[in-house]
Amino acid sequence: MANLEHTRIMVVDDNADTLDLLRIVLEQAGASVVVAQSVGEAIDSFRKCPSHAVIADIRLGNQDGYDLIKTIREYNAQYRGFTPAVAVTGFASPEDEERAKSAGFNAYIRKPFDPAEVVSTVADVLRGPLNAAA
């Protein structure tokens, strides 16, 4: 399994069980994990202390992961940074994956997911953008 030591990862999901599972998997890989259960909570946390990467569900209550990634990309443009982002979602069609990547996510993982896939995908996006979503 990839090593995520010295990284701060934000995980955003409104399902507590999924949030806990992702947190545990990433912490076991060495990451420091910040969790949020809503877009608003995630944006507040990100603005206070940006993460090295973000993992977010697409469906998040009355907002969605697209709202979150739009705000993160605007923040990145303003501060000339880049925060890799991974969508983790139950939306499983090729069109859903293309929409997520077009919106600004750098990688896409379908639920249910393999914990090792999550860690390796995060490690991959931390090495460099997988697409020109920035």
Does any domain span residue 91? Answer: yes
| DSSP labels, 15-79 | -HHHHHHHHHHHHHTT-EEEEESSHHHHHHHHHHS--SEEEE-SEETTEEHHHHHHHHHHHHHHH
Does any domain span residue 132? Answer: no
Does any domain span residue 78? Answer: yes
Q: Is 123 helix (H, G, I), strand (E, B) or coil?
A: helix
Does any domain span residue 130? Answer: no
Overall domain count for the chain: 1
Taking residue 40's Cβ as centre, other Cβ atoms within 10 Å add up to 16
Does any domain span residue 3? Answer: no
CATH label of the domain that carries residue 84? 3.40.50.2300
User: pLDDT tens track of the chain, all 134 residues?
Assistant: 689 999 999 999 999 999 999 999 999 999 999 999 999 999 999 999 999 999 999 999 888 999 999 999 999 999 989 999 999 998 888 999 999 999 999 999 999 999 999 999 999 999 985 444 43
Does any domain span residue 134? Answer: no
- Domain extent, residue 55, equals 8-124
